A and B are shown apart, each in its own frame.
Chain A
């Protein structure tokens, strides 16, 4: 029953998204859909990526033909449960702070022998398959922290430095439109055209939305990761292509995670 309603709701959202003038209806439809997901979490289309990610995690791959099961996400090799809730963090073996996707990329390179540069050469959203695979694995790992609260400590000096850099970048204007993240995300209740702008400079508002990433996007019918989201926002800022795993994206994610402290993880979430 719920599932048919969900299908109907999805169709409605897809329809409403077609006509820009009906974005308010889209918002309502998405909210309704979120309620249904609470009744029947299994009807979330993002869960397909969770399954795909789990398979990718446990399948021997890459030149070394090994699985990712020895990947240390911060809680020890192979520990996936709750790992996402404590990221980003400083990894001594890599000598830098890493968010989930950056760490996964590192494991794919060090354990499986993939060439990270090759994997990220065609970044999102045109998306090469490799990045899509990384996204699915990230969705799987994030989902394994479902219902937990963000508990990234971010107190170690490198971590504090990443948060501070991220905050600096949030207010940094760049590109020919003079935009900073703060241009679009530092007030409540504003919209660009009809799209509501999340108020990320405020902790309460950030805590509500950040934990929903990676998220299933109705407009693209794909799961989008946080690195991908930032790449897209820089695209709107008329900036060049943001490198996946760069210090800039890690720092912004560290800052956003700090903003969202105490927020609940509900990944994969649902976005327009």
Chain B
């Protein structure tokens, strides 16, 4: 059976364009001409950075050495709050977790601050039942981790640059890609790690 398939594939293969893997240049050329209204400062949205290119090429399961290189590169992007305080205001954190505003071509000129849209992918508070399932539930996130300082720092780093902990993560790199500010990331950390946040009180 397998042999027949291979035989068939060989017969179908034509020497010209067929069967050639699409190289990066080919895809780049197509992308460049498909978005003619892109402003010049959006050039990087079309090409993507090295991490995106590596994750795309590997369809998100990068080989060990590439994964290690990605992790190292992404860890180096993380900027920390100067006072080493990682916890902001969970109320503002809840607001940005709800908001998907920002960076779409219909969002210019900006009318409000960017959101993190965490609920698109995560369960957080019990009260919000409209949550997505692309990411794990973050319900009781801090409580389950005893609010440990290492866990607080890890949450900050995860939100700042998801690939620093898991190369080729599905989650956006909110800090590294300047979707959220350091202050906003602290607010998101507060939502996850404050004992009085509804994520932890179950309200």
Residues of A within 8 A of B (CB): 20-21, 23, 155, 157-158, 160-161, 164-165, 167-169, 171-180, 182-184, 189-195, 197, 235-236, 238-243, 246-249, 251
User: Which residues of B sit under 8 angstroms from A243, Cβ to Cβ?
Assistant: 33-36
Q: Do the beta carbons of A165 and B34 come within 8 Å of each other?
A: no
User: Which residues of A sit under 8 angstroms from B45, Cβ to Cβ?
Assistant: 174-176, 238-240
Q: Do the beta carbons of A178 and B52 come within 8 Å of each other?
A: yes
Q: Do the beta carbons of A238 and B104 come within 8 Å of each other?
A: yes
Q: Do the beta carbons of A177 and B103 come within 8 Å of each other?
A: yes
Interface residue from A168, A193, A241 paired with B105 (Cβ < 8 Å): A241
Interface residue from B36, B37, B56, B105 paired with A172 (Cβ < 8 Å): B56
**A-B contacts, 17 listed (Cβ < 8 Å):** A157-B17, A165-B26, A169-B31, A171-B56, A173-B55, A173-B56, A175-B103, A190-B133, A190-B134, A192-B121, A193-B132, A235-B104, A235-B105, A240-B45, A243-B36, A248-B31, A248-B34
Binds A, one of B82-90, B170-178, B194-202: B170-178
Chain B minimum-CB-distance residue to A120 = B36
Q: Which of B145-178 contact A (CB under 8 A)?
A: 170, 172-173, 177-178
Identify the 10 closest CB pairs spanning chains A and B, nearest first: A248-B34, A246-B34, A240-B38, A240-B35, A168-B22, A173-B52, A157-B17, A177-B172, A161-B17, A192-B132
User: Which residues of B sit under 8 angstroms from A241, Cβ to Cβ?
Assistant: 35, 37, 105
Q: Do the beta carbons of A178 and B177 come within 8 Å of each other?
A: yes
Give complex CA distance A137, B31 in Å: 27
Digit string of B18-35 for contact with A (CB within 8 Å is 1, else 0)?
111110001100110111
Q: Do the beta carbons of B132 and A190 come within 8 Å of each other?
A: yes
Q: Do the beta carbons of A248 and B119 come within 8 Å of each other?
A: no
Chain B minimum-CB-distance residue to A22 = B130
> With an 8 A cutoff between CB atoms, is B106 at the interface?
yes
Q: Do the beta carbons of A174 and B170 come within 8 Å of each other?
A: no
Q: Do the beta carbons of B130 and A193 come within 8 Å of each other?
A: yes
Q: Do the beta carbons of A174 and B55 come within 8 Å of each other?
A: no
Interface residue from B14, B59, B130 paired with A171 (Cβ < 8 Å): B59
Interface residue from A160, A182, A248 paired with B60 (Cβ < 8 Å): A182
**Beyond A161-B17, A161-B18, 14 additional pairs, beta carbon < 8 A:** A20-B130, A165-B26, A176-B179, A177-B172, A177-B177, A182-B59, A192-B121, A238-B104, A240-B37, A241-B37, A241-B105, A243-B34, A246-B33, A246-B35
Give complex CA distance A76, B12 in Å: 26
User: Which residues of A sit under 8 angstroms from B48, Cβ to Cβ?
Assistant: 172-174, 178
Chain A nearest CB, measured from B165 CB (Å): 15
Give complex CA distance A247, B22 in Å: 13
> With an 8 A cutoff between CB atoms, is B129 at the interface?
yes
User: Which residues of A sit under 8 angstroms from B21, Cβ to Cβ?
Assistant: 164
Chain A nearest CB, measured from B61 CB (Å): 11
Give complex CA distance A78, B131 in Å: 49
Give complex CA distance A247, B34 in Å: 7
Interface residue from A155, A169, A175, A176 paired with B30 (Cβ < 8 Å): A169
Give complex CA distance A165, B18 in Å: 11
Chain A minimum-CB-distance residue to B39 = A240
Central interface residue in B36, B129, B131, B178, by most chain A CB within 10 Å: B36
On whether A240 and B42 interact (CB within 8 A), knowing A193-B130, A235-B105, the answer reads yes
Q: Do the beta carbons of A169 and B17 come within 8 Å of each other?
A: no
Give complex CA distance A20, B52 in Å: 32
On whether A184 and B134 interact (CB within 8 A), knowing A172-B48, A178-B177, the answer reads yes
Chain B nearest CB, measured from A68 CB (Å): 26
> With an 8 A cutoff between CB atoms, is B113 at the interface?
no
Chain B nearest CB, measured from A259 CB (Å): 15
User: Which residues of A sit under 8 angstroms from B52, Cβ to Cβ?
Assistant: 173-174, 178
Q: Do the beta carbons of A178 and B130 come within 8 Å of each other?
A: no
Q: Do the beta carbons of A157 and B134 come within 8 Å of each other?
A: no
User: Which residues of A sit under 8 angstroms from B30, Cβ to Cβ?
Assistant: 165, 169, 246-248, 251
> With an 8 A cutoff between CB atoms, is B46 at the interface?
yes
Q: Do the beta carbons of A157 and B133 come within 8 Å of each other?
A: no
